[in-house]
């Protein structure tokens, strides 16, 4: 009876809280309701600003959906195990999941940008000798529509040139939008080649600069591959660690599972979950490619 009452109370609390999270910060609310939801509104805004600083497009709805998923996982953990402490630990996902997703997106976006950038520069270099102008060469490249994540950036650069901006300012805008340190040398070489009038010597220097960027990309992809391999080993180690409670649970201990029905077993299960979550978060920090150095 008490167990059923506890389950019902937790489910009701979860529904009330989850609904409040999804609806907080919406339009048309009274001053009192906005004040009640201000904490979650501030949290969603803080996470959005954090994502913005990392160069990741992020909205409050994405944060709220991740929170909903976190609460659902916490509820499922309690439903399966009956461990109220484990339900509490599941709420830690509210803190960690948004950060993990933002870091994953940042990593993928910057790597995709670097890959697309080298292809874009090769196309640009192939058209410069015939066009003799950066703006005309860029028009040809943009019309090809095979630039991936760089399409919007190049359209802005091209618009800057069409509005009468000089090449140095346009390339400066390009460098700012890309946000990759490894593009700086290529950008400076582009500015110098434009000043030299796109002579064969200037184009040759630009070709060497792009080739150096391609070599950097190959090295970065190799490091990323090794990092992915190390993270896979970490996840395998965590899975192996979890095999011990699973195996011990199969031992003949009467009617009770020691990990589900004893206080010590529940504490041990909570410690397993907490340490596993900590290992995943820190593994993401230390084993992932440092895209800030790109």
Residues with Cβ < 8 Å from 187, sequence gap 6 or more? 171, 172, 174, 175
DSSP, collapsed to helix, strand or coil, labels residue 54 as coil
The helix-helix angle for 38-53 and 60-81 (nearest 10°) equals: 110
The closest alpha carbon to 101, from 142, 141, 48, 146, belongs to 48
Domains of the chain by residue range: 1-91, 109-216
Residues with Cβ < 8 Å from 174, sequence gap 6 or more? 153, 154, 157, 187
Return the pLDDT at 210. Answer: 92
The helix-helix angle for 167-178 and 151-162 (nearest 10°) equals: 160
pLDDT digit string (tens) for 91-136? 777 778 888 889 888 888 888 888 888 988 998 898 888 888 888 8
Residue stretches of the chain with pLDDT short of 70:
1-37, 90, 145-147, 251-255, 291-294
Q: How far apart are CA 15 and CA 105, in angstroms?
A: 29
| Residues 57 and 51: beta-carbon distance below 8 Å | yes
| Residues 287 and 228: beta-carbon distance below 8 Å | no
pLDDT digit string (tens) for 157-190? 888 888 888 888 988 988 888 888 888 899 999 9
Q: Is 256 left (phi over 0), alpha (psi -120 to 50) or beta?
A: beta
pTM of the model as a whole: 0.74
Q: Would you give the distance in Å from CA 242 to the centre of its chain?
A: 27
DSSP state of 255: T
């Amino acid at each position: 009876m008490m167990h059923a009452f506890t389950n019902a109370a937790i489910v009701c609390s979860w529904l009330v809280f989850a609904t409040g999270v999804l609806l907080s910060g919406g339009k048309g609310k009274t001053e009192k309701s906005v004040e009640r939801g201000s904490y979650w509104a501030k949290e969603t805004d803080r996470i959005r600003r954090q994502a913005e600083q990392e160069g990741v497009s992020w909205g409050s709805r994405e944060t709220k959906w991740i929170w909903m998923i976190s609460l659902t996982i916490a509820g499922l953990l309690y439903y399966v195990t009956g461990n109220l402490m484990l339900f509490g630990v599941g709420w830690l996902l509210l803190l960690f999941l948004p950060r993990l997703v933002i870091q994953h997106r940042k990593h993928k976006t910057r790597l995709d940008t670097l890959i697309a950038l080298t292809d874009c520069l090769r196309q640009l270099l192939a058209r410069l000798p015939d066009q003799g102008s950066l703006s005309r060469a860029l028009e040809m490249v943009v019309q090809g529509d095979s630039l991936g994540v760089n399409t919007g950036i190049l359209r802005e650069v091209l618009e800057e040139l069409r509005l009468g901006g000089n090449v140095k300012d346009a390339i400066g805008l390009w460098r700012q939008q890309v946000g990759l340190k490894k593009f700086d040398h290529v950008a400076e070489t582009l500015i110098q080649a434009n000043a030299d009038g796109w002579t064969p010597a200037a184009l040759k220097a630009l070709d060497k600069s792009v080739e150096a960027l391609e070599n950097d990309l190959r090295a970065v992809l190799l490091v990323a591959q090794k990092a992915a391999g190390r993270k896979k080993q970490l996840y395998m180690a965590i899975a192996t660690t979890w095999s011990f409670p699973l195996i011990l649970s199969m031992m003949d201990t009467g009617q009770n599972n020691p990990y589900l029905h004893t206080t010590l077993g529940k504490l041990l299960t909570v410690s397993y979950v907490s340490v596993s979550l900590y290992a995943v978060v820190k593994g993401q920090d230390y084993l992932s490619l440092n895209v800030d150095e790109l």
